[in-house]
């Protein structure tokens, strides 16, 4: 992934995740109150920069790890499985 695309992807994904998760956790902690939106906004503005940095650092590693996991999961485990796939 090119650097510019990686940055845009990271900002968008971290925005969506931190926005929804901060709203959910704020709701779980406070329920709906008259100042719910203010608390949610404060939590979101605190979470988004951290989420963006974490996503930027870990996305390439997680993509490589998930590719390895899928490759291992799709690998036949016995000669019977290999024979049945070839038919």
What count of Cα atoms within 13 Å lies in the side-chain half-sphere of residue 7?
2
| Domains of the chain by residue range | 3-86
pTM above 0.75, yes or no: no
pLDDT averaged over every residue in the chain: 88
The arithmetic mean of pLDDT across residues 57-77, rounded, is 89
The arithmetic mean of pLDDT across residues 40-45, rounded, is 96
Classify residue 13 as exposed, middle or buried by CB count within 10 Å of its CB (0-12, 13-18, 19+): middle
The arithmetic mean of pLDDT across residues 23-47, rounded, is 94
The arithmetic mean of pLDDT across residues 13-39, rounded, is 94
Q: pLDDT, tens digit, for every residue of 68-85? A: 999 998 887 765 555 656
């Amino acid at each position: 992934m090119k650097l510019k695309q990686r940055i845009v992807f990271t900002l968008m994904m971290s925005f969506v995740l931190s926005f929804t998760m901060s709203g959910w956790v704020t709701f779980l902690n406070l329920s709906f109150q008259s100042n719910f939106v203010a608390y949610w906004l404060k939590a979101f503005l605190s979470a988004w920069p951290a989420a963006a940095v974490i996503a930027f650092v870990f996305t390439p590693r997680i993509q490589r790890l998930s590719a390895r996991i899928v490759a291992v999961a799709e690998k036949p485990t016995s000669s019977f499985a290999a024979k049945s796939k070839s038919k």
